[in-house]
Amino acid sequence: MHRWIRILLLCVCSVSARAESPRPFTVQLTAEPASLDPSLVEDGLSLRVLNLVLRGLTAYDGEGRVQLALAEELEPLPRGKNKSPGLRAVIRKDALWSDGTRITAADFMYAFKRGLDPDTASRLADLLFVIRGARDYKTGKLSDFAAVGIKAIGDRELRFEFDEPCGYFPHVLASIIAVPQRPGAKSYNGPYVFEKDSPAGVIGLSRNPRWPLPPVGPDRVEFRLVAEDAPSLALLQSGGLDVLLRVPTLELRRLREQGKIAEFPLRATYYLGFNQRRLFWRDKQARRAVVSAVSRADILELQQGDGEQACSWLPSALGGPRVCPPPPRPPGMRSTLFVAAVPEDLALAFDGGSRNQLIAEKIQVDLKKAWGIDATLKARDWKSHLQALYRGDVGMFRFGWLSVILDAYAHLSLFRSDSPNNHTGWKNQEYDALLDKIATKPEGPVRQRLIERAAALIDEEAVALPLFHYKMTVALSPRAKGLRVNPLGLLDLSGVK
């Protein structure tokens, strides 16, 4: 029996076995989440699940606007003589954990301390570095957390102090690194809670009776792990899935004609990276040679409209250019010098899936055509691909970057020298200094010029090749027509019954 048929039968049987309970709203998981620990989470899959069970002081709505969530007040601290800029937050009186326990400022303090602890392998803690002393505490230069600019005032008030003003900090408070936590307790404070009896391959959620705001969607939600294209399509047709989060590229046109496709803007970039910890990729001319060989226009055409042309590292909605410059000319070294230096085991590493396979094969063809290079393709499952990147076991790789807040700084921060997510290993003092300035400048022409210069450095140094900026293209059952996806890829179920 084919593996995908077994998956289909398993899901159908799961639906039948739970017929006595309300039919869940079912969402595809394309891979197993890397982590559901809010201090360790990093990937979009995990964030999509956790956003339904954990909320912070602020949250994004379905359009990507920041709104108050667990905070009832959020206001700047008074600026007196010799006082640092800062922000004051007051927690809602009716903010409760799912077990009925009141959420306090101490729960937030525990989460911030845990995320910034040098022994916690948090990949998003750098979002908190605008807080006075946070970077030094994370790097071990500061040992006393009491010296960090986060204070609890009683049970309901938090105060944040910065070295410089930070206009985007309400966005940071909406991120997963800023949700409250309790030591050793599996409690949740979002609109849903995890179900305890979910079968293997299923993450079940039920409504949180303690959620203080209006209900946000169906009574029950199930995320179902269906990684392969054939069974996921079959389940959509049979009613076993309401939302297909990865639409097979070759099926996109047909599903669009059937009216089953919905598209949402997504502030994320699909890119080709080069690990400069490897000797060959330290050579900027080698990186530029690959950049010049790959046809981004052809790759976007392969996507059948599922993406935005990548004119630079930044999507246009985050300040990137809307009109692309001419493609780069090939470096002047040509094949004699470049090809002679290419290692025999040159490979492109990527996580599996029909789209990634198609794009990897196109890059392989482009390199052969431009330089006569035979690059091998190394496909792995999602978790194995992540681990290979963490270990630095890849040279050239496919990856995507979805910043967890809607600000250009977060999108650019991927390539900061000390970013744990910078799998290229690129380090540049000018770039780091630009990011420091961007973090403290208010919106306006000065900040925009700094953003443009930082993005230009990525192109000049051929740090990575942005192949396209994502759209969130999903296939929906009739029941799911009210679904919205915000620009961070988070699900808004308020329109789903």
Q: In the prediction, which pLDDT does 306 show?
A: 80
> Per-residue pLDDT tens for 106-122?
999 999 999 999 999 99
**14, pLDDT greater than 50:** no
**8, pLDDT greater than 80:** no
* Residues facing residue 224 across a β-bridge: 28, 202
Q: What's the CA gap between 122 and 134, in Å, rounded? A: 13
Q: In the prediction, which pLDDT does 327 show?
A: 63
Query: What's the half-sphere exposure (Cβ side, CA atoms, 13 Å) at 338?
Result: 21
> Per-residue pLDDT tens for 470-489?
989 999 999 999 999 999 99
- The candidate with the shortest Cα–Cα distance to 372, out of 394, 340, 413, is 340
Residue range 389-413: mean pLDDT, rounded: 93
For residue 447, the one-letter residue type is R
Residue range 168-194: mean pLDDT, rounded: 93
Q: What's the CA gap between 57 and 91, in Å, rounded? A: 7
Q: What's the CA gap between 291 and 467, in Å, rounded? A: 10
For residue 153, the one-letter residue type is I
Dihedral sign for Cα atoms in the order 212, 215, 217, 219: positive
> Per-residue pLDDT tens for 370-385?
988 899 999 999 989 9
Q: In the prediction, which pLDDT does 11 show?
A: 47
Q: In the prediction, which pLDDT does 427 show?
A: 97
Q: CA 444, 449, 291 angle in degrees (round to 5)?
A: 135
- The residue ranking higher by pLDDT, 215 or 123, is 123
Q: In the prediction, which pLDDT does 468 show?
A: 94
Q: In the prediction, which pLDDT does 393 show?
A: 92
**4, pLDDT greater than 50:** no
Residue range 260-284: mean pLDDT, rounded: 94
Residues 6+ apart with CB under 8 A from 306: 247, 249, 252, 263, 471, 473
> Per-residue pLDDT tens for 124-157?
999 999 999 999 999 999 999 999 999 999 999 9
Give CA torsion, residues 458, 463, 466, 472, to 10 deg. -90
Q: In the prediction, which pLDDT does 209 show?
A: 93
Locus of tokens 């496709």: 261
Confidence of residue 185 (pLDDT cuts 50, 70, 90): confident
Q: Please provide the average confidence, as pLDDT, over all residues in the chain.
A: 89
**89, pLDDT greater than 80:** yes
Q: In the prediction, which pLDDT does 332 show?
A: 54
**13, pLDDT greater than 70:** no
Q: In the prediction, which pLDDT does 62 show?
A: 82
